[in-house]
Amino acid sequence: RRTAAAWRSTGSEWMPPNDPAAKDDLLAEGRLNLPAVLPAAPACWSQHAANPLRSAQESDARQIARAVASRR
């Protein structure tokens, strides 16, 4: 198995998926480009990325409103 140091010495940001230790080392150094590695995030993630707490609160409020309306 190639070490993270070996990957760094080649100057390559790519690594095989079966080498999580090297990937972790590059992530820790900020040298791994996550968008190139991870699959695209669902569209709903980007909508809530700016303010996840507010999104959660709005979602909770909608659920509570639906529950109250269904009891009437």
**pLDDT value at position 48?**
53
Q: Is the overall model pTM greater than 0.95, yes or no?
A: no
Alpha helices in 1-72, H assignment, sequence order: 4-10, 20-29, 34-37, 43-48, 52-71
Q: How far apart are CA 32 and CA 17, in angstroms?
A: 13
Q: What's the average model confidence in pLDDT over 24-37?
A: 61
pLDDT value of residue 1: 46
Sign of the dihedral through C-alpha 47, 51, 52, 55:
negative
Q: What is the pLDDT of residues 52-64, one digit of tens each?
A: 566 666 777 788 8
32 HSE (CA, 13 A, CB side): 19
Would the pLDDT of 34 be above 60?
Answer: no
Q: Does the pLDDT of residue 22 top 50, yes or no?
A: yes
